[in-house]
Amino acid sequence: MARQAKAKKLLNTRQIRDAEATQAVILAAAQEEFAKHGLIAARTQAIAAKTGVAKSMIYYYFHDKQGLYEAVLERSHSDLLQTSHQLDLNNLSPEAALEIFLAALLDCVSQNPNLPLIMFHEAVQNQGQHYKHSTSVSIDKVLVKILEKGVATGAFRQLDPLQSAINIMGTCLFYFIGMGNTQHYPQDKPFLSPAMLEQHSQEAIALILAGVKNT
């Protein structure tokens, strides 16, 4: 009996791992599809073809295309959300907290350049219908809180924290959203190379800090 129970437990563990691996493959392919087309024009058949996973299995795990899309939204922000929770921003000065937050944001997006594109499609196609239920709202609140503290302590100039947060996100993310246009610039620069991404991060942070500091 003990041997049978052990064998059953091993089988269940293997099945769980297989299911998790399959879902990860589906989500990675779905992320690319939604980044290119958004929710409306994305096709589950294209995702199935790319992964080799049957379309019925995609529906089994995620119920429908909307369920898959919402799972992609959560997956796309999970690293940044986890990182922001690990950062002890409350015990830092507003300037240091903002710089660390921005570095984490830009690092996350540099590793996942599809994220800004998905957010762009979400805003244009869905008017943020799914965004408002995602954990990305929590990330926005972290930024607003840092700006509020900076204004209250006098470290930052008098500014509207929400308005400034929107502008800050634009500064960080448009680099990726506008890639379809900027890739045709005559400089022929590899915009997604590690060196160019690091340069974007440094310049974005410097620009934002100069814009909010009370000098």
Per residue in 129-138, pLDDT (tens digit) is 877 777 666 7
Q: Output the CA–CA distances (angstroms, integers) from residue 49 to 44, 52, 72, 209, in the order listed.
A: 9, 5, 18, 45
Q: Where are the domains of the chain?
A: 2-212
The answer to whether the CB of 149 falls within 8 A of the CB of 97 is: yes
Q: Name the burial class of residue 50, with classes exposed (0-12), middle (13-18) and buried (19+) by CB atoms within 10 angstroms of its CB.
A: middle
Selection from 179, 158, 172 nearest residue 208 by Cα: 172
Q: pTM of the prediction? A: 0.81
β-partners of residue 156 are 213
> Looking at per-residue confidence, does 119 or 132 come out higher?
119
Mean of the pLDDT values across residues 101-126? 89
Query: CATH code for 2-212?
Result: 1.10.357.10
| Rounded distance between C-alpha atoms, residue 49 and residue 55, angstroms | 8
Mean of the pLDDT values across residues 25-35? 92
Mean of the pLDDT values across residues 185-195? 80
pLDDT at 8: 40
Q: Output the CA–CA distances (angstroms, integers) from residue 118 to 73, 76, 149, 188, in the order listed.
A: 8, 9, 30, 25
pLDDT at 1: 55
Q: Is the pLDDT of residue 9 over 50?
A: no
pLDDT at 12: 47
Q: Is the pLDDT of residue 10 over 80?
A: no
| Rounded distance between C-alpha atoms, residue 207 and residue 157, angstroms | 15
Task: Specify the 3-state DSSP secondary structure of 213.
Answer: strand
> Looking at per-residue confidence, does 101 or 132 come out higher?
101
The answer to whether the CB of 209 falls within 8 A of the CB of 98 is: yes
Q: Is the pLDDT of residue 185 over 70?
A: yes
Mean of the pLDDT values across residues 179-195? 79
Lowest average pLDDT, out of 7-21, 24-38, 59-73, goes to: 7-21
pLDDT at 123: 86
> Looking at per-residue confidence, does 179 or 134 come out higher?
179
* Contact residues for 113 (Cβ-Cβ < 8 A; gap 6+): 176, 179, 192
pLDDT at 33: 94
